[in-house]
Amino acid sequence: MWLGNGVMKDKMVKICCIGAGYVGGPTMAVIALKCPKIEVAVVDISVPRINAWNSDQLPIYEPGLEDVVKECRGRNLFFSTDVEKHVFEADIVFVSVNTPTKTRGLGAGKAADLTYWESAARMIADVSKSDKIVVEKSTVPVKTAEAIEKILTHNSKGIKFQILSNPEFLAEGTAIKDLFNPDRVLIGGRETPEGQKAIQTLKEVYAHWVPEDQILTTNLWSAELSKLAANAFLAQRISSVNAMSALCEATGADVTQVSFAVGKDSRIGPKFLNASVGFGGSCFQKDILNLVYICECNGLPEVAEYWKQVIKINDYQKNRFVNRLVSSMFNTVATKKIAILGFAFKKDTGDTRETPAIDVCKGLLGDKARLSIYDPQVTEDQIQRDLSMKKFDWDHPLHLQPMSPTTVKQVGVVWDAYEATKDAHGLCILTEWDEFKKLDFQRIYDNMQKPAFVFDGRNIVNVDKLREIGFIVYSIGKPLDAWLKDLPAVA
């Protein structure tokens, strides 16, 4: 049964999405909202995650998501742990499972670990009794579709599978907005008549709300590579401006003024030019490492080296921040209380995957600081888990992670910025939450140890105002405080 060519209008199509995470959950909720005649089931092996999707406390914080879920849940949107039943019933199966970076063996530290993907593919082949379209939704290395296709066809018992690549471009914090109004939807498929028909079927789903000229169709490999390329380009802009921020500090230029002036060039544009303590999130680093690995495997070491620099500058920026802080505070933070405002990798999300806060906090803990952390959306449990976890371990399903992580004793987590900063020697802003812009810094100053330091990793505070209050202020890429100028250069 291949749909396409308008067949969908007459038939109740069933979609199943394997993986109820940051991508699968919001994407399927919006498909269900915009396509009331399509039945959408989101399935996951994690019982707590599915229970949360079925409760009033959704497992992820995303502005606007709750309204969408409330409208469709129980109507044509279902969350279930009965993975096999829903895959069996589906016409289209989206796969949105974890693709961690390998931590051992061939390609360790770079290549994607396709264990979860492979087991999902084998299960699809096992339970299917009808032809299906299988859609890659989670980011995967180029040519994954080929591997998946092999697993499916070699185990298919005569059933036909068409593989499509339909990468997700949503950004967290604006996921619902991005899904409602995508810059583009990208669908890659085989260039055979069956492949083209499958593309058409998926196109019809999105055409319920996305203008047709914004739905791009390509071959499979272009779609897979476009996702990696888009994330690499975005991350590269941030590393470029962050590299400039170091030079700004050395020369007295102001990175905000420089990026504004640069971004006014219509060929460059103003977006993604905010200097920061470093980029985080589940995609950028992982996708670039993947790209690097693919380049190396294809005999392109120069290209691999080029993209590696984007990550190196990001690591440099996080180290530079920690070094700047420690050297400003008389070269030691041992036993000093440092308040950390913000732990999520960006504002408007509770997601901490690859957040620069992890590296900054670990750096400060390495120097024996005591940390008091406040983030409006991140729980103590999550912070403790992140600070005790090994690099790359975050991308494994929750139930496979240690249940009771060792508590990092020098870390306290509080639910209020004033509490976090009370009696602190210094405060760091690591996430650009709007509420941090409105804090009463005079009150904070009065309750801190003196000299009181502010290290703004997101350039959100009014530096002049804070200096007037009496703070010693470091703000990424901004002209240095006299206090900091006299210190040896930081690398």
Least separation in angstroms between residue 86's CB and ligand ADP is 10
Please report whether residue 26 would count as binding ligand UDX according to CB under 6 A: no
- The annotation status of 463 as a binding-site residue, yes or no, is no
Q: Which of 72, 234, 427, 473 contacts ligand UDX by CB under 6 A?
A: 234
Please report whether residue 111 would count as binding ligand UDX according to CB under 6 A: no
Q: What is the contact mask toward ligand ADP in residues 36 to 75, using x (rule: CB under 6 A)?
A: -------xxxx--x--------------------------
Q: Which of 54, 147, 169, 445 contacts ligand UDX by CB under 6 A?
A: 169
Please report whether residue 353 would count as binding ligand UDX according to CB under 6 A: no
- The annotation status of 103 as a binding-site residue, yes or no, is no
Site residues for ligand ADP, 358-397, by CB under 6 A, read 397
The number of residues that bind ligand ADP (CB under 6 A) is 22
Catalytic choice (16, 35, 283, 295): 283
Which of ligand ADP, ligand UDX, none sits in contact with 225, Cβ below 5 to 8 A by type?
none
Site residues for ligand UDX, 404-423, by CB under 6 A, read none
**Has 283 been annotated as catalytic?**
yes
Q: Which of 8, 21, 92, 134 contacts ligand ADP by CB under 6 A?
A: 21
Please report whether residue 97 would count as binding ligand ADP according to CB under 6 A: yes
Residue 473 β-bridge partners: 454
* Residue span binding ligand UDX (CB under 6 A) among the ranges 165-173, 310-318, 327-335, 402-410: 165-173
Please report whether residue 346 would count as binding ligand UDX according to CB under 6 A: yes
Q: What is the contact mask toward ligand ADP in residues 265 to 304, using x (rule: CB under 6 A)?
A: -----------------x----------------------
Which of ligand ADP, ligand UDX, none sits in contact with 294, Cβ below 5 to 8 A by type?
none
The number of residues that bind ligand UDX (CB under 6 A) is 19
- The annotation status of 422 as a binding-site residue, yes or no, is no
Please report whether residue 348 would count as binding ligand UDX according to CB under 6 A: no
In SS3 terms, the chain reads as CCCCCCHHHHCCCEEEEECCCCCHHHHHHHHHHHCCCCEEEEECCCHHHHHHHCCCCCCCCCCCHHHHHHHHECCCEEEECCHHHHHHHCCEEEECCCCCECCCCCCCCCCECCHHHHHHHHHHHHHCCCCEEEEECCCCCCCHHHHHHHHHHHCCCCCCEEEEECCCCCCCCCHHHHHHCCCCEEEEECCCHHHHHHHHHHHHHHCCCCCHHHEEEEEHHHHHHHHHHHHHHHHHHHHHHHHHHHHHHHHCCCHHHHHHHHHCCCCCCCCCCCCCCCCCCCCHHHHHHHHHHHHHHCCCHHHHHHHHHHHHHHHHHHHHHHHHHHHHCCCCCCCCEEEEECCCCCCCCCCCCCCHHHHHHHHHHHCCCEEEEECCCCCHHHHHHHHHCCCCHHHCCHHHCCCCCCCCCCEEECCCHHHHHCCCCEEEECCCCHHHHCCCHHHHHHCCCCCCEEEECCCCCCHHHHHHHCCEEEECCCCCCHHHHCCCCCC
Annotation: binding site: 19-24, 44, 49, 97-101, 138-139, 172, 283-286, 353
Contact residues toward ligand UDX (CB under 6 A) are: 168-172, 231, 234, 238, 272-274, 276, 279-281, 283-284, 345-346
Residue numbers belonging to the annotated binding site for NAD(+): 19-24, 44, 49, 97-101, 138-139, 172, 283-286, 353
Kindly list the residues in this chain that would bind ligand ADP in the complex (CB under 6 A): 18-24, 43-46, 49, 83, 96-98, 116, 119-120, 138, 282, 397
